[in-house]
Amino acid sequence: MKSNTTRSNIELRPVYGPNDPNADAYSERFGNPGEYPYTRGTRAYSGQGWIQRELSGEGDAKRSNEQLKYLMSIGQTGLDVIGDSPTMSLMDPDHPLARYTVGTQGVSLCRHDDYRELLEGIPLEQMSVSSSCPSMFTVASLYMLAKERDISPGNLRGSVIEWPFYAEHCSYAYKMPFDLHLRMSCDVIEFCAREMPRFHGYLEDTYFFSEAGLNAVEEAALGFVEIRHIVRTLLARGLDIDSFAPRIAILTNCSMDFYEEIAKIRAMRRIFARMMKEEFGAKDPRSQAVNIAVHTSGLSLTTEQPANNIVRGAVQTVALGLAGVSALEISTFDEGYRTPSKEAHLVGLRTQQVVDLETNINSVQDPFGGSWFMESLTDEVEAKILDMVNDIESKGDPAELVNSGYFKQFFHGTMGRYHHQVHDGEVVKVGMNVHEMPAEEDTLLRDISEEKITPLFDRVEQIKRFREGRDHPRLLDALDELYGVVQSDENMLEAVIACNEAGATMGEIAGILRQAWGTPYDPYGHLESPLGARR
Amino acid sequence: MSSIRVVVGVLGMDQHELGAVGIAKMLRDNGMEVIYTGCFNTPETIVQTVIEEDADVIGISSHSWEYLYYTPELLSLLEQNDLDIPVIVGGSVITEEDAKAMLDKGVAAVFGSGAVVTDMIDAVRRLVPDDATS
C-alpha cells in the first residue's frame, strides 16, 4: 500500500487514542480469549499455536500419499489436500476435456479406491484431514475408510469446503444449478453433524473467491452472505442450530496488508458470535466461537524473484500468529507456476516452525487486544463488513442473486480492478512493479519454480480399464437408486456411499445428480449417462 | 475502419480467469472489440467462435500448462480451416523457454507475467493489418 489507506479504503490515522474509555464495554465488545464475543480468540490461552500444514496433492493417489508422509516426516501437524482441476470440477480423468491436466495441479481422485490409497497409513483418528476436494465425495470416502479400519466415524477430525455460492463463477465449476449444489452442501453438513460430529462438514472458504482480487471487507462480507444463507437453509430443514453450528469453520485469505488482515480475523470472530447468538439463537458456546484457518494469498506472490515469496509467507505467518488462527497453510514460493514442489513444502513448513518456535509468538494471546489502533481498525472493518452484507441482502434473496449473475459480475469487476491496481502500481509488488530485475539475472529458485508436472496419461487408461471391470448390474442399480433419492427429500449421502461401494466414479455420480435434477449428465456434451434407457 | 475484433478465452480445465478478464477489459479500454469466451474452451470452440464472429486475432490466457498442448492443436486447426488469424498467448505460468517454443511453433506473440499492457496492445495492432478490419 502506498497511501495511508487500507485495501478496503479505511483511512489510517497517524495516532490512535482510547475511543471508548468505558471499561464496561470490554466484555460486550471483546471478552477475554475464549469468552463471548470471541474477538480476542475462541479459546482460552493454551500456548499451543496453530495446526501447521501445507497444500498437497500431485499426480495420482499413491504419489500424493508419499507427499503427505513426507510432510508429516518434516513436522506437518494436519493434512491439506487439493484435487487437480478435473477432480475439483467433479470430472473423471478420462473425460476428453481433462486429458492435459490430470494430476498436474493437485491429486487425481475419482473413486473410493483412490481415497483409500491417498490416506493409506495415515492415522485418521489422530490426524486432522482438511480437504479442498469435493465435499460429498471426501466425506463419503472418509466415512467408508473409518468403517473399513474399525475407527468410529465420530472420531474423525478435519474439514471439507462448502462453496455453493461462488465456486461456479470464480473457481472450480461444478456445472450444476445452484439449488443442487446447495442441496449437496446441506446434505453433507447434516450427515456430518449426525455421523461425524467432530468433523467440520462446513468450512466456509473465503480464500478461493477472494483471489479474484477482493479486498478484506469484500471477502468477509461475501463469506457471511454465504454462511447466513446456508444456515437459514439448514434451519428450514428443521435442524437445531446447535446440532451443526459448532462444526462451522472459516478458511480465509491473508494478503500483505498486515494490520487489516489481523483486524479482519478479529472482526469475523465477533460478527460470527453475535450472528449465531443473537440472530440464530445458538446457545452452545461452541456454536458461537468460530475457528478460523488461513491460506496465505497466492495472488500476493510473484513469478518474478520467487525468493521474495518466502519473505511474504513469513510476514503473513507472523500476522496470523498475532491474530490467533487455528490452522495455517503458506502459499509457497513456486505458487506462481505450480502446486508446491518438495523444496517449497520444506521451506513453507520451516517458515511456520521458525515463527512458531523461535519468536515467542504464542506466549501471548491476542497481543494487539486493547491497542487503540487495532481496536479502532477492527471496529471499522467490522462495520464495513456488516454494511456490505446488509447491502447485498437488501438487493434480494442471495440465491436469486447467484442465479441472476450478480456475483459473477461482481467478481469480473474485482478481477479487472485488481489488474489495474497492479498495472498502475497501486498494489506494490517488489520484483514485479518496483525493483524489477532483468530476466537473465532473476535466477534464484527459478529452476525449482519452473519445473513442470507432466499430465498422467496412464491414469486415463487406468480408469478406462477400471470401468470395464466393474459389476455393471450392481453399479446401475446403485446409480438408479441415487437418481430416485435426488428427486426425493432424503439426504443423498447414503446413496452416494452405496454408489461408491458399487464402484461408481465421482464423474458418474455427479452426472446422475445433474440428470435427476433435469440438467445434462455431462455439461460439456461429451458423455452419455450410463443409465441410458432406464431413465 | 472498424475496430479490431479479439477473441479472448481460457483453454481446457484451467479455471483461473483473472488474467483473461483483466486483459479483456484493457483491450476494450483501448478501443478494441472483445469476444470473451471465458473458460472451458477447446481449440474447436475457439475456431468456431473465430469463424462466427469474424475475429481478427485470438488471445489465449493461461494459468495452467494445458496451453502447451492445446495451442499447437489450435494452430493446426486454424490452418486446416484456412484461417490466417494470429494467436497471442499470455499468462504468468509461461516461462522464457516455453515462450520461445511457442513462437517457434507459430504463435504470433507471447506475454509472461511481467508483460506491459502497452506492449500487448501494440502487438495486437501490429499483428492485425488495417485492411483486415475495414
What does the pLDDT look like over A96-123, one tens digit per residue? 999 999 999 999 999 999 999 999 999 9
What residues pair up with B9 in beta bridges, in sequence order? B38, B60
Count of pairs with CB atoms under 8 A, one residue in A, one in B: 88
Backbone angles phi, psi at A487, to 5 degrees: -80, -5
- Could you list the residue range(s) of the whole structural domain that residue B37 is in? 5-126
Does residue B132 lie within any of the structural domains?
A: no
Determine the angle formed by the axes of helices A506-516 and A178-195, rounding to 10 degrees.
120
Q: According to DSSP H, which parts of B11-116 are helical? A: 18-29, 43-53, 67-80, 96-105
pLDDT of residue B117: 82
- Assigned C-alpha cell, A170: 470464480
CB A231 within 8 Å of CB A245: yes
B113 CB neighbours in chain A (<8 A) are 302-304, 336, 432
- Assigned C-alpha cell, A77: 501437524
What is the side-by-side strand order in the sheet with B33-41? B33-41, B5-11, B57-61, B87-90, B109-111
**Sign of the C-alpha dihedral computed for residues B72, B77, B80 and B84 taken in this order:** negative
3-state class (DSSP) for residue A435? coil
What is the spatial distance between Cα A196 and Cα A198, in angstroms, rounded to a whole number?
Answer: 6
Contact yes or no for A418 and B117 at CB 8 A: no
- Give the single-character DSSP code of A464: H
What is the side-by-side strand order in the sheet with A327-329? A51-52, A327-329, A291-296, A248-254, A200-205, A158-162, A129-131, A79-81, A55-56
Out of A170, A416, A439, the one facing B25 most closely (by C-beta) is A416
Does residue B120 lie within any of the structural domains?
A: yes
More confident residue, A413 or A45: A413
More confident residue, B24 or B2: B24
Contact yes or no for B17 and A415 at CB 8 A: yes
Q: Does A98 touch chain B (CB under 8 A)?
A: yes
Contact yes or no for A439 and B39 at CB 8 A: no
Q: Does residue A37 have a cis peptide bond before it, meaning omega lies within 30 degrees of 0?
A: yes
- Cα separations (Å) of A528 from A108, A132, A167, A511? 22, 28, 25, 9
Residues 6+ apart with CB under 8 A from A267: A39, A220, A378, A379, A381, A382, A385
pLDDT of residue A493: 98
Q: Tell me the pLDDT band of A17, cut-offs 50, 70 and 90.
A: low
Does residue B21 lie within any of the structural domains?
A: yes
Does residue B131 lie within any of the structural domains?
A: no
Q: How far does B46 lie from chain A, in Å, by closest CA?
A: 14
User: Pick from A279, A524, A268: which is nearest to A388 by CA?
Assistant: A268
Q: Does A58 touch chain B (CB under 8 A)?
A: no
Out of B13, B25, B93, the one facing A86 most closely (by C-beta) is B13
Q: Does B99 touch chain A (CB under 8 A)?
A: no
3-state class (DSSP) for residue B13? coil
pLDDT of residue A1: 41
Distance of CA B77 to the CA centre of its chain: 14
pLDDT of residue A18: 53
- Assigned C-alpha cell, A531: 443409465
The total of structural domains in chain B comes to: 1
User: Pick from A293, A303, A304, A364: which is nearest to A330 by CA?
Assistant: A293
A128-181 pLDDT tens trace: 999 999 999 999 999 999 999 999 999 999 999 999 999 998 889 999 999 999
Q: Does B12 touch chain A (CB under 8 A)?
A: yes
CB A245 within 8 Å of CB A290: no
Is a pLDDT exceeding 70 seen at residue A15?
Answer: no
Compute how many other C-beta atoms are within 10 angstroms of the C-beta atom of residue A340: 25
User: Pick from A184, A386, A200, A388: which is nearest to A290 by CA?
Assistant: A200
CB B39 within 8 Å of CB B19: no
Mean pLDDT of A460-472: 97
Overall fold of domain A162-423: TIM Barrel (3.20.20)
The gap between the terminal CA atoms of chain B, to the nearest Å, is 5
pLDDT of residue A23: 61
Contact yes or no for B40 and A304 at CB 8 A: no
Place of cell 445458538: A282
Side chain identity at A255, as an amino acid letter? S
Mean pLDDT of B66-93: 96
Rg of the Cα trace of chain B? 13
Mean pLDDT of A405-424: 93
Q: Among all residues of chain B, which has the CA nearest to that of A436?
A: B114
Q: Does A103 touch chain B (CB under 8 A)?
A: no
Out of B13, B18, B114, the one facing A304 most closely (by C-beta) is B114
What residues pair up with B7 in beta bridges, in sequence order? B35, B58
Q: Among all residues of chain B, which has the CA nearest to that of A454?
A: B65
How many Cα atoms are found within 13 Å in the side-chain-facing hemisphere of B16? Answer: 22
A329-374 pLDDT tens trace: 999 999 999 999 999 999 999 999 999 999 989 888 899 998 989 9
User: Pick from A206, A316, A314: which is nearest to A260 by CA?
Assistant: A316
Contact yes or no for B21 and A89 at CB 8 A: no
B65 CB neighbours in chain A (<8 A) are 100-101, 104, 452-453, 455
Q: Taking the domains of chain A in order of start, what are their residue ranges?
A: 162-423, 472-534
CB A475 within 8 Å of CB A78: no
Q: How many angstroms separate the most distant Cα atoms in chain A?
A: 73
pLDDT of residue A29: 86
Q: Among all residues of chain A, which has the CA nearest to that of B67?
A: A100
pLDDT of residue A2: 43
Contact yes or no for A100 and B92 at CB 8 A: no
3-state class (DSSP) for residue A521? coil
Contact yes or no for B64 and A97 at CB 8 A: no
Is a pLDDT exceeding 50 seen at residue A21?
Answer: no
- Assigned C-alpha cell, B7: 477473441
Residues 6+ apart with CB under 8 A from A205: A132, A161, A162, A163, A250, A251
Does residue B112 lie within any of the structural domains?
A: yes
The CATH number of whichever domain residue B40 belongs to comes to 3.40.50.280
Contact yes or no for B22 and A452 at CB 8 A: no
What residues pair up with A472 in beta bridges, in sequence order? none
Q: How many helices and strands, by DSSP H and E, does chain A display?
A: 22, 9
User: Pick from A319, A206, A335: which is nearest to A271 by CA?
Assistant: A206
pLDDT of residue A293: 98
Is a pLDDT exceeding 90 seen at residue A48?
Answer: no
Q: Does A100 touch chain B (CB under 8 A)?
A: yes
Out of A101, A211, A299, the one facing B64 most closely (by C-beta) is A101
DSSP letters spanning A77-101: -SEEE-B-HHHHTT--TTSGGGTTT
What average pLDDT does chain A have? 95
Residue to substitute from B8, B13, B117, interface A, most A β-carbons within 10 A: B13
Q: How far does A96 lie from chain B, in Å, by closest CA?
A: 9
**Sign of the C-alpha dihedral computed for residues A238, A241, A246 and A251 taken in this order:** positive
Place of cell 473423471: A92
Q: Does A170 touch chain B (CB under 8 A)?
A: yes
A415-439 pLDDT tens trace: 989 988 998 999 999 999 999 999 8
The gap between the terminal CA atoms of chain A, to the nearest Å, is 58
Side chain identity at A465, as an amino acid letter? R
Place of cell 444449478: A177
A91 CB neighbours in chain B (<8 A) are 13
**Sign of the C-alpha dihedral computed for residues B37, B41, B43 and B44 taken in this order:** negative
Contact yes or no for A100 and B70 at CB 8 A: yes
For strands A248-254 and A291-296, give the pairing: parallel
User: Pick from A384, A382, A374, A381: which is nearest to A259 by CA?
Assistant: A374
